[in-house]
């Protein structure tokens, strides 16, 4: 039966064999007719037993496939026990292993570079150099450049994953860390072996992999000179560490080591570090089309890596244009490829209030429409999706300005009908509502930080309100004092609810720096390039997002080069006060139709600045190496489904000017 067609089998009718006790119960089929009275003869019981026996015998003899439609198995339906899991157990797996070994033998017999146009072209494009394939550049990479470097390692699609822990932890903690790494490996397996998935390849369990390894060693013949990666061994020192900003993301990756030539060894202090190593491993892999093998060049190869800054973020604005959850997922996927670890989610603004708040349910009446809303379950899903990729989600509830949408459901929050923001500082209900909103969000966003805004407060709206002016006079306040009062109360609410740090835009420092606790407050710089240095002199923790430094991605006159040229620490001393930075994708003029090409690949430029050592990034920019590698990374993003715009675009999200490959556009 053709795959995808469902066979409808007409079931046999029910036969009522109960003793007759009223009107006759009859049941008919196309071929025979029986009634309850048919069993009134002396041999009725024997006849019934005979019919029942024949029915059972027929069911046992007819193949199961007669009743069920044929279907090709999905990749992850391979039976790990060797029983029928959709692939007929070991025989199907053996066939696939044999086919893969034949590819490997043919590749080696032909010679790694002998008449291979694919490898020659890749070599001329610099794609066989491991460092040209990685973005952001690791802290240290050493690879083979001698005779052995001509032979790439081959990554087996049947490679198995092992996860071990250096420090004993509870079973629940170890299971959680192992699950995080395993699910991540499964995602990367689909990326690395994307072409194989068309043939229904899959990773296998230890028993199958052990069998394959022994067969490969004995049967490969001339391929014995080639390193075949058949195991990915992840060793985590501290499985108990939880995801948050500042978690150790360092890792070591070795391939083709003499002691373990067939193993990709990942050593990390935490499971998050292991995720970063898997990303690097995936970028080192290259599909060789002539042989249909996944290759890794430069083996033996070692990487030692750690990020320069602990906060490497992207701001998305879902209040100016709503972004469906699936679009946010795609953003998170792309961020993980660039090793970014913070999604700053600007949830609400003057234009819309799309997030559910059960404590004050009328707030999301300020959404653009009934369909453009996020439930708390949606938000939880985003947080979990991000965590699975080693990304922390920080919500921003901007107050007291940028808040017109709040009053759609609760007009009492408006200072006056003609002046709808900032929120009414004189009304105690305003702070009751803010506490309710933050309480609702705390059940979803369980990290240590929240952003409470504080920018662009237009004080004249309060001054022009007779009621609010009277309240300020009673409390001896000028409008600027009222802003201070408002901000101090909101920060106190956030800390009371369990957030350890509040992030505010730099205007709070400009207005009342003396009220800001340097331990619990982080200042985000976005206006003056010079002002961040003055904030550092006072000892504040800082984030860089400067619009004049090119880190506002809604500026269409800013290309990747401008983003990369701006080092976030250029005016900060000591650099240790700089937590990191964020590129900001404000949403006034971008929506799902052009969101990704507006962000990428420019965000990748900031990602490398925040991950790689400054001296290296400066040199890579000057030599042109950064641009060449960014072309390669942009191609990788495209292959993985990210609509990254051409690197050479004068206007970031515009279309390519001419036909051509992604490496030259």
Nearest to 334 by CA among 138, 130, 140, 135: 135
Tokens describing residue 486: 């408002």
Peptide bond into 300 cis (omega under 30): yes
CA atoms within 13 A of residue 543's CA, in its CB half-sphere = 28
| HEC per residue, 576-601 | HHEEEEEEEECCCCCCCCCHHHHHCC
Strand duo 521-525 + 501-505: pairing: parallel
CA atoms within 13 A of residue 623's CA, in its CB half-sphere = 10
CA atoms within 13 A of residue 446's CA, in its CB half-sphere = 11
203-206 — which CB contacts under 8 Å span 24+ positions? Answer: 203/157, 203/158, 203/159, 203/160, 203/161, 204/78, 204/80, 204/93, 204/158, 204/160, 205/80, 205/81, 205/160, 206/160
Nearest to 455 by CA among 536, 397, 499: 397
Segment holding 288, helix H or strand E: strand 286-288
Dihedral angle sign, alpha carbons of residues 81, 85, 88, 92: negative
The CA angle 521-523-526, to the nearest 5 degrees, is 165
Nearest to 309 by CA among 449, 446, 139: 139
79 DSSP 8-state letter:
-
Give dist(CA 644, CA 648) in Å, integer: 12
310 contacts 580 by C-beta, under 8 angstroms: yes
Q: Which residue has the tokens 């043919």?
A: 106
Q: Within a 10 A sphere around the Cβ of 498, how many other Cβ atoms?
A: 12
Q: Give CA torsion, residues 76, 78, 81, 86, to 10 deg.
A: 120
- The helix/strand/coil state of 35 is strand
Give dist(CA 605, CA 607) in Å, integer: 5
Please confirm, yes or no, whether 466 is among the known catalytic residues. no
Segment holding 614, helix H or strand E: helix 614-623
- The helix/strand/coil state of 63 is coil
Q: Which residue has the tokens 């071929």?
A: 31
Q: DSSP per residue over 354-384, as a string?
A: -B--TTSGGGGGGSSSTTS-B-HHHHHHHHH
Active-site annotation holder among 99, 456, 496, 588: 456
Q: Within a 10 A sphere around the Cβ of 89, how many other Cβ atoms?
A: 15
Phi-psi region of 289 (alpha: psi -120 to 50; beta: other; left: phi over 0): alpha
Q: Which residues contact 581 (CB under 8 A, 6 or more apart)?
A: 309, 311, 312, 313, 543, 544, 545, 551, 568, 606, 609, 610
Show which residues are catalytic.
Answer: 456
């Amino acid at each position: 039966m053709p795959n995808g067609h469902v066979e409808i089998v007409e079931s046999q009718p029910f036969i009522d064999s109960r003793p007759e006790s009223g009107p006759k119960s009859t049941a008919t089929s196309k071929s025979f007719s029986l009634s309850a009275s048919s069993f009134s003869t002396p041999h009725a019981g024997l006849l019934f037993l005979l019919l029942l026996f024949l029915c059972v015998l027929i069911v046992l003899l007819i193949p199961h496939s007669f009743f069920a439609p044929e279907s090709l198995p999905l990749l992850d339906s391979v039976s790990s026990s060797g029983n029928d899991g959709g692939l007929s157990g070991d025989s199907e797996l053996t066939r696939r292993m044999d086919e893969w070994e034949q590819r490997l033998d043919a590749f080696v017999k032909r010679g790694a570079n002998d008449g291979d146009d694919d490898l020659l072209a890749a070599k001329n494009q610099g794609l066989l150099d491991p460092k040209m394939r990685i973005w952001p550049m690791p802290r240290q990479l050493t690879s083979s450049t001698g005779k052995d470097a001509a032979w790439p390692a081959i990554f087996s699609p049947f490679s198995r994953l092992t996860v071990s822990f250096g420090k004993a932890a509870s079973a629940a903690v170890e299971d959680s860390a192992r699950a995080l790494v395993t699910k991540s490996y499964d995602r990367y397996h689909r990326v690395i072996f994307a072409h194989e998935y068309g043939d229904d390849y899959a990773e296998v369990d230890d028993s199958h992999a052990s069998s394959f390894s022994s067969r490969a060693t004995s049967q490969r013949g001339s391929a014995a000179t080639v390193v075949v990666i058949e195991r990915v061994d992840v060793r985590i020192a501290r499985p108990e560490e939880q995801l948050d900003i500042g978690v150790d993301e360092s890792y070591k990756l070795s391939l083709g080591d003499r002691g373990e030539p067939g193993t990709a060894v990942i050593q990390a202090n935490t499971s998050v570090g292991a995720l970063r190593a898997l990303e690097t491993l995936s970028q080192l892999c290259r599909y060789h089309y002539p042989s249909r093998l996944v290759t890794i060049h430069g083996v033996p190869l070692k990487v030692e890596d750690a990020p320069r800054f602990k906060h490497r973020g992207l701001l998305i604005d879902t209040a100016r244009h709503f972004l469906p959850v699936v679009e946010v997922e795609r953003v998170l996927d792309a961020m993980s490829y660039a090793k970014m670890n913070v999604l700053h989610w600007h949830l609400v603004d003057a234009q819309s209030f799309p997030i559910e708040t059960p404590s004050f349910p009328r707030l999301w009446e300020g959404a653009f429409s009934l369909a453009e809303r996020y439930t708390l379950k949606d938000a939880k899903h985003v947080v979990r999706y991000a965590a699975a990729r080693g990304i922390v989600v920080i919500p921003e509830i901007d107050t007291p300005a940028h808040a017109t949408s709040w009053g759609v459901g609760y007009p009492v929050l408006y200072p006056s009908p003609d002046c709808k923001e900032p929120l009414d500082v004189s009304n105690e209900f305003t702070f009751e509502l803010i506490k309710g909103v933050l309480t609702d969000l705390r059940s979803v966003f369980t990290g240590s930080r929240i952003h409470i805004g504080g920018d662009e407060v237009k004080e004249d709206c309060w001054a022009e309100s007779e009621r609010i002016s009277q309240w300020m006079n009673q409390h001896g306040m000028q409008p600027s004092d009222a802003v201070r009062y408002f901000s101090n109360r909101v920060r106190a609410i956030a800390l009371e609810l369990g957030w350890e740090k509040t992030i505010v835009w730099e205007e709070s420092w400009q207005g009342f720096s003396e009220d800001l606790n340097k331990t619990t407050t982080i200042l985000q710089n976005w206006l003056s390039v010079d002002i961040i240095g003055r904030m550092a002199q006072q000892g504040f923790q800082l984030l860089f997002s400067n619009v004049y430094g090119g880190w506002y991605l809604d500026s269409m006159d800013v290309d990747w080069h401008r983003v990369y040229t701006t080092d976030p620490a250029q005016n900060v001393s000591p650099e240790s006060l700089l937590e990191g930075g964020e590129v900001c994708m404000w949403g006034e003029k971008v929506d799902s139709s052009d969101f990704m090409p507006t962000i990428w690949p420019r965000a990748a430029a900031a990602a490398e600045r925040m991950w790689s050592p400054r001296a290296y990034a400066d040199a890579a920019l000057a030599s042109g190496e950064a641009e060449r590698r960014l072309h390669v990374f942009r191609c990788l993003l495209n292959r993985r489904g990210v609509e990254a715009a051409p690197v050479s675009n004068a206007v970031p999200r515009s279309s390519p000017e001419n036909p051509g490959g992604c490496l030259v556009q």
